Amino acid sequence: MASYFLYNIANLVVAQSENDKPLRGKRQGELETIPDAYILIKGGLIEAFGRKETLLTPPREYTPMDMKQSLVMPAFVDPHTHLVFAGTRENEFTMRLQGTSYLDILSKGYGIHQTVQQTESASFDELLHLAQNRLIDLERYGTVGVEIKSGYGLKPAVELKLLRVIRELKKNTPHPISTTFLAAHALPMEFKNKREDYIRQVLEETIPEVAKEGLADFIDVFCEKDVFSMDECERILLKGASLGLRPKLHTDEFYSIGGIPLAARVEAVSVDHMITATDEDLQSLQGKDTVAVILPGTSFSIPHTKRDYARKIIEANIPLAIGTDFNPGTCMCYSQQMMMELSVLLYSLTINEAINAITVNASFAAGLHNSTGMMKEGYRADLISMRVREVNEIAYHWGINKIQRIFLSGVKVEFEA
Ligand code: NIG
Ligand code: FE
């Protein structure tokens, strides 16, 4: 494996955790950058970095690479994706933009249920191929580490199929990937009048099988009015946790129904959406390491939704990460770059807060913080360079793909821009 000497870096972003914890409050807004920097990459890892003049002997055995006065930083981590599905739902998207509610569409058997049908009829190989291509698309916009959820199976056998697709994807790619079993995404139509039977199936059949096969790192639920109640979610998350699956939640996308205090009680790794979080909800997360994941792309499909929640999370001293929520219903966008820009342009984050959110804190929310998402010696050399010179230019020059080069575990990815 080649060793590289990256030089002529206009600015190097040194995003790092503190005391091995996600960044929060004032610290989330602090970001060191090194002007005129270099990086040494060896064995796929970051060996050293710093200001160019501190490098005494230019290393001979390293292949030099001119970074052409670009901005270099850890590659993005996406802590929330639904990457494995078949079909699309553009009709529903248009209806929602015209005012039909997401939850109404779901309760009538469309929405998630449509993707469930299309996913069930797709073969293992088709789903793998779709997911593989999507992973490459994510990467082109700067994302290397990814959390991937199941959730479009609902039935035990189909959920297991989706988790096995993710396992196969992991085998075939050098991307760091964590896997989430989304155990309660929607009540299957055939269980409409048999809620408890479905919960029992999840608790007694699906979760034990997922754990036995070691198919997931995390367990997730959609804790939302008219979807799954706080009590149902608690039972599911606790069962998963008892078998080694660490909890995550989709909650407060539309209503606050106790999902955030539940996240605090079960010491969730992350609590995602958070749009309708109340002050008391935010209070319940005090002192926890649970990361709040905001999903700005999803808010586009919920017209007139709130925009002040991201700032409230930071001001409540809760670590904040950004994800795409890439899925066929609410966010068909896999660009973390775009999410970072939206966070600054619409959700009042500073660019420093957004960069820490999409690297360091995203790596914690994805459970990948020991290997990627930070500028640290010994970490995987998952790096990107962008066609800007400094961080303030990122959201200023928004809406275009600024990725110039990508290093995936120290290997330069060849792609045509
Ligand atoms: O995170 N909110 C629940 N799940 C997904 C959307 C799933 C879908 O509509 O297909 C989300 O937004
Ligand atoms: Fe989601």
User: Is 250's C-beta closer than 6 angstroms to any atom of ligand 1?
Assistant: yes
The minimum-distance atom of ligand 1 relative to the CA of 111 is 9
State the greatest distance between any 2 C-alpha atoms of the chain, in Å, as a whole number: 73
Residues near 366 by beta carbon (within 8 Å), at least 6 away in sequence: 77, 78, 79, 145, 146, 147, 178, 373
Residues near 364 by beta carbon (within 8 Å), at least 6 away in sequence: 17, 21, 22, 269, 289, 291, 319, 321
- Please give the Cα distance from 120 to 171 (Å, whole number): 23
Kindly state the average pLDDT of the residues 282-301.
Answer: 94
Is the per-residue pLDDT at 303 higher than 80? Answer: no
Is the per-residue pLDDT at 416 higher than 80? Answer: no
**Are 23 and 152 within one domain?**
no
Q: Structurally, how many domains does the chain consist of?
A: 2
**Are 209 and 142 within one domain?**
yes
- Scan for tokens 């710093």, then name that residue: 50
Q: How far is the CA of 221 from the centre of ligand 1 (A)?
A: 11
**Are 230 and 346 within one domain?**
yes
**Are 104 and 185 within one domain?**
yes
Is the per-residue pLDDT at 417 higher than 70? Answer: no
Q: Which of 95, 162, 222 to mutate to test the pocket of ligand 1 (most atoms within 8 A of CB)?
A: 222
**Are 30 and 142 within one domain?**
no
**Are 138 and 39 within one domain?**
no
**Are 146 and 163 within one domain?**
yes
Q: What residues pair up with 246 in beta bridges, in sequence order?
A: 218
Asked if 41 and 405 touch (Cβ cutoff 8 Å), the reply is no
**Are 321 and 267 within one domain?**
yes
Sign, CA dihedral 327-333-334-337, equals negative
- Please give the Cα distance from 99 to 159 (Å, whole number): 32
Domain of residue 389 covers: 4-75+373-414
Asked if 224 and 257 touch (Cβ cutoff 8 Å), the reply is yes
Q: How far is the CA of 234 from the centre of ligand 1 (A)?
A: 19
The dihedral over CA atoms of 100, 103, 105, 111, expressed in degrees to the nearest 10, equals: 120
**Residue nearest ligand 1's atom 8 by CA:** 329
CATH of the domain at 229: 3.20.20.140
**Are 121 and 171 within one domain?**
yes
Asked if 293 and 272 touch (Cβ cutoff 8 Å), the reply is yes
- What is the band of 77 on the pLDDT scale with cuts at 50, 70, 90? very high
Angle at 291 between CA 287 and CA 389, to 5 degrees: 120
pLDDT at residue 299 in the model: 85
Among all ligands shown, which has an atom nearest to the Cα of 259? 1
- Please give the Cα distance from 95 to 72 (Å, whole number): 41
User: Is 330's C-beta closer than 6 angstroms to any atom of ligand 1?
Assistant: yes
- What is the band of 353 on the pLDDT scale with cuts at 50, 70, 90? very high
User: DSSP code of 185?
Assistant: S
Last residue of a domain, one of 365, 382, 404: 365
CA–centroid distance for 209 within its chain: 25
Predicted TM-score of the model (pTM): 0.98
CATH of the domain at 55: 2.30.40.10
pLDDT at residue 201 in the model: 98
Can you tell me whether residue 122 is helix, strand or coil? coil
pLDDT tens, residue by residue, 3-26 = 999 999 999 999 999 999 999 999
Q: Which of 346, 249, 362 is nearest to 299 (CA)?
A: 346
**Are 387 and 317 within one domain?**
no
Q: How far is the CA of 81 from the centre of ligand 1 (A)?
A: 10
The minimum-distance atom of ligand 1 relative to the CA of 298 is 12
